[in-house]
């Protein structure tokens, strides 16, 4: 067996010393021809491997370069150096993979996030991205743990689908038809999708919700967690063309139950990361502090990262209706002094991210749940309120991010749902399977979608969504 190594995380966490160990990892730095800072990704902290003078010949010493992969055997001994309890006094070092120091993109210095984005295949090996992706892992794990502990069934909804779950038309087409104009046409000149791979027009899913609802009508409590795709041409620090979404759907929940679930859920997974990724979050907190120093005082956030996370898990989210929010925004000095790009004038306006961020960052200074939006700015499946003007929608807005969750109580009444679909030009024949849930044993139910990358942004304190998914997809970019 080749792999009899100890993980660096386990070595550093224990006070134990005076035993033999083998470690493997990638060289971060090599000082004085003696001290190797070795990282194997199990922690942000490096293990100091000491190659005493005379242990290695010159040829081997020259191969210990930043980025090289090595195997080291030796004794774990108490460390005299600062910041670590133990170090490895090497008795042998083997080079597993050379790395040409001239060509390796990462130098032992600080690189810009832009540079690292262009080198996303290598950025896993930096402290910042190591921390981000370990936190991302923990959050994903905690999501499954949260739902599993509550008896939810994890449902895999399809990635290729024929329906537009949001009715927003922002879909990537999936086809095997030729693009050179030779695809067979119907009499009216439109493409004949009967000839296509699935015998109909298909796309990548924008949300697993509709299929999730079908499953909730049997298991009561389900969730999905998978990739979703949106062909919206949004070149922002909050949008991706491919992102991951978590969508719980619960039979017998109303809007308030839905809000309680979402709030408990977010707090639970943040707490999990705080407990299990303390080192990574401490590192990211320092990183953010450094970044903020470059900003003018007025633009700096009031809280550090750890302070913010603690605040969020220990305080209740503010809950208010869209109508109340519009009143606050309309009366705000910001609006009166015309500081919004889109001024708030009338009830019914869609909220832009500047409005959401004003509410969360300036007015309430905590996460906010907005409910009961005008029906015209929300999706067809949301439950109509008594007033006939608003729907039982909820969006959760987070400081520094804006919308992080979108959800609603669903319209369980067949006649009302059909009427809304007609008004909004959602083709009922394509969604007949969905309407069946309302025909056969319909019940009140509710659910929401949490944008996973937006959550990771929030927890890591990063500012660009392209930095919290390993290989981001956005307009004009699908590298790697």
Which region, judged by CB under 6 A, interacts with ligand 4AD, from 75-83, 112-120, 319-327, 399-407? 399-407
Cα 352-357-359 angle, rounded to 5 deg: 100
What span, in angstroms and rounded, lies between the C-alpha atoms of 243 and 112? 24
State the binding string over 65-104 for ligand 4AD (x if CB under 6 A, else -).
Answer: ----------------------------------------
Q: Which of 40, 196, 247, 356 binds ligand 4AD (CB under 6 A)?
A: 247
Q: What counts of helices (H) and strands (E) characterise the chain? A: 14, 16
Nearer to ligand 4AD, 95 or 404 (CB): 404
Q: How many CB atoms lie within 10 A of CB 259?
A: 21
Partner from ligand 4AD, Mg ion, none contacting 243, C-beta within 5 to 8 A by type: ligand 4AD
Which of 103, 113, 91 lies closest to 65, judged by CA? 103
Identified binder of Mg ion from the candidate list 167, 208, 248, 406, rule CB under 5 A = 406
**Helix ranges (DSSP H) in 346-391:** 353-357
Instruction: Please work out the total of residues on this chain that contact ligand 4AD, with binding judged by CB under 6 A.
Output: 21
- H-assigned helices in 150-295: 209-219, 255-276, 278-293
Beta strands in 287-439 (DSSP E): 318-321, 368-374, 390-398, 402-409
Decide whether 33 or 235 has the Cβ nearer to ligand 4AD: 235
* Residues 146-165, interacting with ligand 4AD (CB under 6 A): 165
Judged by CB, which is closer to ligand 4AD: 107, or 477?
477
Q: Return the residues of window 184-223 that contact ligand 4AD according to CB under 6 A.
A: 207, 209
Tell me which of ligand 4AD, Mg ion, none is bound by residue 448, counting a contact when its beta carbon lies within the kind-specific cut-off of 5 to 8 angstroms.
Answer: ligand 4AD
Q: Are 163 and 426 in contact (CB under 8 A)?
A: no
- Residue 430: CB atoms within 10 A of its CB come to 13
Whole-Å CA distances, 389 to 3, 138, 343, 407, 421? 64, 41, 22, 18, 15
User: Residue 79's Cα: distance from chain center in Å?
Assistant: 38
96 and 70 in contact (C-beta within 8 Å)? yes
Q: Which is nearer to ligand 4AD, 40 or 453 (CB)?
A: 453
- Report the residue number, 174 or 401, with the smaller CB distance to Mg ion: 401
Q: Is 466 in the site for ligand 4AD (CB under 6 A)?
A: no
Which of 6, 136, 230, 267 touches ligand 4AD (CB under 6 A)?
230
Instruction: Tell me if residue 461 falls in helix, strand or coil.
Output: coil
Residue placing its CB nearer to Mg ion in the complex, 38 or 394: 394
The item of Mg ion, ligand 4AD, none sharing an interface with residue 451, based on CB under 5 to 8 Å by kind, is ligand 4AD
Binds ligand 4AD (CB under 6 A): choice among 407, 444, 461, 472: 407
Residue nearer to Mg ion on the CB measure, 248 or 406: 406
Span near Mg ion by CB under 5 A; candidates 47-55, 322-330, 401-409, 430-438: 401-409
Q: Binders of ligand 4AD among 440-459, rule CB under 6 A?
A: 447-449, 451, 453-454
Choosing from 40, 87, 164, 166, the residue that interacts with ligand 4AD (CB under 6 A) is 166
Q: What angle do CA 132, 135, 137 make, to 5 degrees?
A: 110
Q: Give the binding-site size for Mg ion (rule: CB under 5 A).
A: 1
Contact of 449 with 209, CB cutoff 8 Å:
yes
- Chain residue at closest Cβ approach to Mg ion: 406
Q: Which of 129, 193, 243, 373 forms a contact with ligand 4AD (CB under 6 A)?
A: 243
**Helical ranges in 332-387 per DSSP H:** 333-336, 353-357
How far is it, in rounded angstroms, from Cα 278 to Cα 16?
A: 21
Encode 7-26: b = buried (16+ Cβ within 10 Å), e = exposed. Answer: bbbebbeeeeeeeebbbbbb
Kind and range of the H or E element at 6? Answer: none
Among 405, 426, 459, 469, binds ligand 4AD (CB under 6 A): 405
- Asked whether the beta carbons of 172 and 201 are under 8 A apart, the reply is no
Stretches 241-249, 352-360, 363-371, 383-391: which one binds ligand 4AD (CB under 6 A)?
Answer: 241-249
**Closest to ligand 4AD by CB, 361 or 453:** 453
Chain contacts with Mg ion (rule: CB under 5 A): 406
* Interface positions with ligand 4AD (CB under 6 A): 165-166, 207, 209, 230, 239-240, 243, 245, 247, 403-407, 447-449, 451, 453-454
């Amino acid at each position: 067996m080749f792999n009899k190594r100890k993980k660096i995380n386990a070595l550093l966490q224990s006070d134990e010393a005076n035993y033999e160990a083998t470690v493997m990892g990638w060289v971060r730095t090599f000082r004085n021809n003696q001290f190797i800072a070795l990282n194997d990704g199990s922690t942000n902290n490096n293990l100091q491997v000491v190659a005493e003078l005379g242990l290695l010949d010159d040829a081997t010493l020259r191969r210990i370069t930043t980025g090289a992969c090595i195997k080291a055997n030796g004794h774990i001994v108490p460390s005299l150096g600062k910041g670590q309890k133990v170090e490895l006094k090497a008795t042998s070092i083997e080079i597993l993979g050379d790395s040409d120091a001239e060509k390796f993109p990462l130098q032992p210095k600080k690189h810009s996030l832009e540079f690292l984005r262009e080198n996303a295949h290598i950025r896993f090996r930096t402290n910042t991205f190591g921390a981000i992706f370990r936190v991302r892992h923990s959050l994903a794990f905690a999501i499954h743990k949260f739902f599993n502990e509550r008896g939810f069934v994890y449902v895999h909804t399809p990635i290729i689908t024929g329906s537009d779950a949001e009715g927003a038309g922002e879909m990537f087409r999936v086809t095997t038809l030729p693009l050179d104009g030779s695809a067979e046409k119907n009499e009216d000149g439109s493409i004949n999708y009967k000839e296509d791979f699935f015998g109909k027009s298909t796309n990548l899913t924008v949300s697993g919700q509709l299929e999730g609802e079908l499953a909730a009508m049997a298991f009561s409590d389900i969730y999905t967690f998978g990739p979703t795709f949106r062909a919206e041409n949004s070149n922002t620090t909050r949008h991706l063309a491919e992102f991951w979404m978590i969508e719980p759907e619960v039979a017998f929940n109303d809007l308030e139950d839905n809000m309680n679930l979402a709030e408990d859920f977010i707090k639970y997974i943040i707490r999990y990361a705080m407990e299990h990724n303390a080192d990574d979050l401490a590192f990211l907190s320092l990183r953010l502090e450094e970044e903020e120093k470059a900003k003018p005082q007025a633009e700096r956030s009031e809280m550090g990262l750890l302070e913010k996370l603690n605040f969020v898990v220990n305080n209740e989210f503010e809950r208010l209706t869209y109508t109340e929010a519009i009143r606050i925004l309309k009366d705000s000095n910001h609006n009166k002094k015309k500081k919004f790009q889109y001024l708030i004038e009338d009830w019914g306006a869609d909220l832009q991210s500047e409005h959401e961020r004003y509410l969360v960052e300036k007015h309430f200074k905590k996460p906010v749940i907005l409910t009961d939006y005008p029906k015209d700015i929300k999706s067809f499946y949301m439950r109509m309120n008594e007033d006939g003007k608003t729907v039982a929608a909820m969006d959760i807005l987070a400081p520094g991010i804006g919308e992080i969750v979108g959800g609603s109580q669903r319209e369980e009444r067949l006649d009302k749902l059909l009427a809304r679909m007609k008004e909004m030009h959602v083709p009922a024949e394509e969604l007949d399977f969905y309407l069946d849930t309302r025909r056969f044993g319909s019940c009140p139910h509710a659910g929401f979608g949490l944008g996973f990358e937006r959550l990771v942004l929030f927890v890591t304190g990063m500012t660009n969504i392209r930095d919290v998914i390993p290989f981001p997809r956005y307009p004009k970019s699908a590298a790697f």
